[in-house]
């Protein structure tokens, strides 16, 4: 157990990334709390040694040096911070708040302004790397904010990240870099699904196709990670189709705001939206392949 004067951090959102980040904070010796609506997640974190975990941070808010938000979207960030019993009003002035959801630059600026009004130090700090890197404390963080915010949140950054990119002082830069990253991630998944669907249509065993691509020049991290789910017929959601409907929606809105064409991102968004509309929104994002007709996929029953 860390000493009573240890750095106190709360991770809000104990999904696959948040749980990994919270465990990494524990491993780094930080006095760690967790918040999630899922009682199984909070129980697991308490068993791992958390100082506390539950559905609200209010019982320990005044002890916190930092909050790490790993929720799904801007609406959830705003609800946690500024909604009924909002956390922002309960934190000590000078506490750091690391906003790591994938959100628009506009929302990042709005949230930061609300935090600063309470005397808090916001860091616009989206993350990437998946559940495995989160669990290993090796996430990539793309962050913008004041030097004071970086300093205040340095123990958290050191605990959860393998790479921290300090993009600048202007809030919104971190969010924009993450949105551009998600353009690539979403397009790579969509392209991988299209390639594997074509292989299925041609009668090529998907395991063979996967082995060829992952040992050749056409490979990408997203292909290697997500198309393995297709080969295994396992669509248990680690990152769901609906996440990329949201993220690629942010990508297309960013392009529209700049009057900048994004033809590949727009096509990928349509593919994920079609998958969600077909009922696959809560499945792993590799389930975008299920929208292709006339193919047989491992583990997927044919409709009669």
Q: Tell me which residues are annotated as active site.
A: 178
**Residue range(s) of every CATH 3.40.50.720 domain in the chain:** 8-169
Q: What is the pLDDT of residue 155?
A: 98
Residue 303, CA distances (Å) to 4, 159, 199, 201, 293 in order: 59, 47, 20, 17, 11
Strand 121-124 to 31-35 pairing = unpaired
Q: What is the pLDDT of residue 130?
A: 87
Do 37 and 172 meet the contact criterion of CB atoms below 8 Å apart? no
Q: Say how far residue 271 (Cα) sits from the centre of its chain.
A: 20
**What is the C-alpha separation between 43 and 127, in angstroms, rounded?**
25
Per DSSP, what are the bridge partners of residue 124?
A: 99, 144
Please report, in tens digits, the pLDDT of each residue of the chain (304 residues total): 444 469 999 999 999 899 999 999 999 999 999 999 999 999 999 999 999 999 999 999 999 999 999 999 999 999 999 999 999 999 999 999 999 999 999 999 999 999 999 999 999 999 999 889 999 999 999 999 999 999 999 999 999 999 999 999 999 999 999 999 999 999 999 999 999 999 999 999 999 999 999 999 999 999 999 999 999 999 999 899 999 999 999 999 999 999 999 999 999 999 999 999 999 999 999 999 999 999 999 988 765 4
Helix (H) or strand (E) holding 158: helix 147-160
Per the confidence metrics, is the pTM higher than 0.85? yes
Q: What is the pLDDT of residue 84?
A: 92
Helix %, strand %, coil % for the chain, to 5?
A: 55, 15, 30
**Long-range contacts at 41-44 (CB < 8 A, ≥ 24 apart):** 41/14, 41/15, 42/14, 44/14, 44/19
Q: What is the DSSP string of 8-31?
A: EEEEE--SHHHHHHHHHHHHTT-E
**Residue range(s) of every CATH 1.10.1040.10 domain in the chain:** 176-291
CATH class of the region 176-291:
mainly alpha
Q: What is the pLDDT of residue 16?
A: 87
**What is the C-alpha separation between 215 and 133, in angstroms, rounded?**
22
8-169: CATH architecture: 3-Layer(aba) Sandwich (3.40)
């Amino acid at each position: 157990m860390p000493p009573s004067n240890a750095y106190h951090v709360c991770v809000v959102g104990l999904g696959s990334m948040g749980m990994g980040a919270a465990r990494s904070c524990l491993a780094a010796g930080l006095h760690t709390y967790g918040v999630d609506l899922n009682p199984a997640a909070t129980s697991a974190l308490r068993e791992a040694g958390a100082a506390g975990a539950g559905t609200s941070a209010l019982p320990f808010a005044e002890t916190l040096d930092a909050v790490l938000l790993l929720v799904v979207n801007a609406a959830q960030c705003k609800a946690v911070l500024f909604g009924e019993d909002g956390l922002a009003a309960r934190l000590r002035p000078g506490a750091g708040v690391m906003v790591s959801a994938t959100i628009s630059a506009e929302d990042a600026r709005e949230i930061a302004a609300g935090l600063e009004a309470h005397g808090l130090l916001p860091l616009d700090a989206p993350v990437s790397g998946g559940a495995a890197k989160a669990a290993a404390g090796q996430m990539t963080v793309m962050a913008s904010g004041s030097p004071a915010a970086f300093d205040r949140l340095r123990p958290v950054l050191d605990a959860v990240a393998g790479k921290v990119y300090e993009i600048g002082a202007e809030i919104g830069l971190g969010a924009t870099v993450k949105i551009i990253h998600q353009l690539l991630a979403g397009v790579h998944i969509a392209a991988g699904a299209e390639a594997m669907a074509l292989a299925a249509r041609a009668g090529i065993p998907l395991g063979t196709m996967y082995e060829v691509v992952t040992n050749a020049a056409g490979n990408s991290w997203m292909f290697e990670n997500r198309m393995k789910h297709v080969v295994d017929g396992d669509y248990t959601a680690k990152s769901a189709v609906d996440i990329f409907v949201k993220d690629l929606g942010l990508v297309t809105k960013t392009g529209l705001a700049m009057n900048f064409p994004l033809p590949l991102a727009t096509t990928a968004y349509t593919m994920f939206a079609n998958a969600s509309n077909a009922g696959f929104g809560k499945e792993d994002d590799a389930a975008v392949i299920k929208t292709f007709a006339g193919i047989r996929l491992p583990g997927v029953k044919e409709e009669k």
